[in-house]
């Protein structure tokens, strides 16, 4: 497949990281491979920690002209100068988020493996729909977003689609022709060298 047709990389932060060191690691990763978007995906509910992490990651991303979105927290988007929000409840919050953030903000929706939720999110104004886990994993409900779902979506629906969750080189090679973006996060942050890990996964996209 021609390189211009291959999926773009949508980078997801780890659920927890050290604020003193992670921005430097993030900078190295963003400098090594072309990244279409960065998602701040922290598990903490500590508002101060969220705000400081978002500030640090926004600076790194925007210095490189990479847009940054945050999981769930619509109220932080404008306050922190972020580019949008990634909603994790399917189509349920898309209309509200779009109304609150306006037409220029990025609004994405994670729809697990639900074709119906994905279509509804797109109709309500989502800029992209994410399905996952696209790889094999024992986490979550065990319901995998199968290759057929991405193939159908890419053929029938104009809203861009993200494949994420438990991605390895073999799965990425299969997905390369049927998804617009691949969401990569934990797959590289657990590695000793996240840059090398990301480059290896990128190579699988063709």
What's the full length of the chain, in residues?
Answer: 206
Contact predicate 54/18, CB 8 Å = no
**CA terminus-to-terminus distance, the chain:** 6
pLDDT of residue 2: 35
CB atoms within 10 A of CB 110: 25
pLDDT of residue 4: 56
Q: What residues make up the domain containing 189?
A: 3-203
Average pLDDT, integer, range 167-186: 97
pLDDT of residue 98: 97
Q: CA-CA distance, 126 to 128, in Å (whole number)?
A: 5
Residue 199 has pLDDT above 90, yes or no: yes
Single pTM value for the model = 0.96
Q: CA-CA distance, 144 to 163, in Å (whole number)?
A: 11
For residue 166, the domain's CATH number is 3.20.20.70
pLDDT of residue 114: 97
Q: CA-CA distance, 1 to 24, in Å (whole number)?
A: 33
Residue 117 has pLDDT above 60, yes or no: yes
3-state class (DSSP) for residue 194:
helix
pLDDT tens digit sequence for 134-151: 998 866 667 899 999 999
pLDDT tens digit sequence for 26-84: 999 999 999 999 999 999 999 999 999 999 999 999 999 999 999 999 999 999 999 99
Q: CA-CA distance, 190 to 195, in Å (whole number)?
A: 11
pLDDT of residue 5: 80
pLDDT of residue 3: 47
* Helix axis angle, 22-32 to 47-63, nearest 10°: 30
pLDDT of residue 137: 80
Helix, strand, coil shares of the chain, percent, nearest 5, are 40, 15, 40
Closest CA to 10 of 89, 69, 82, 97: 69
Count up the domains in the chain and report the number: 1
Average pLDDT, the chain: 95
pLDDT of residue 136: 86
Average pLDDT, integer, range 148-173: 97
pLDDT of residue 1: 27
Average pLDDT, integer, range 110-121: 97
Write out the DSSP string of 89-148: STTTTHHHHHHHH-TTSEEEEE-TT-HHHHHHHHHTT-SEEEE---S--SSTTS----HH
């Amino acid at each position: 497949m021609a390189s211009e047709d291959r999926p773009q990389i949508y980078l997801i932060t780890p659920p927890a990281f050290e604020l003193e060191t992670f921005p430097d690691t993030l900078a190295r990763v963003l400098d090594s491979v072309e990244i279409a978007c960065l998602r701040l995906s922290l598990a903490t509910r500590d508002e101060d920690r969220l705000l400081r992490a978002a500030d640090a990651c926004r600076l790194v991303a925007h210095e490189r002209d990479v847009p940054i979105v945050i999981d769930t927290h619509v109220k932080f988007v404008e306050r922190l100068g972020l580019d949008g929000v990634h909603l994790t409840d399917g189509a349920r919050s898309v209309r509200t988020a779009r109304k609150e953030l306006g037409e220029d903000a990025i609004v994405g929706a994670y729809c697990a493996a639900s074709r119906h939720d994905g279509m509804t999110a797109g109709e309500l104004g989502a800029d992209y729909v994410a399905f996952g886990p696209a790889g094999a994993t024992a986490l979550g409900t065990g319901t995998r977003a199968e290759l057929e779902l991405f193939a159908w979506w890419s053929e029938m629906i104009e809203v861009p689609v993200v494949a994420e969750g438990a991605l390895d080189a073999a799965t990425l090679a299969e997905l390369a022709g049927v998804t617009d973006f691949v969401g990569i996060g934990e797959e590289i942050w657990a590695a000793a060298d996240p840059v090398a890990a990301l480059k290896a996964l990128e190579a699988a996209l063709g």
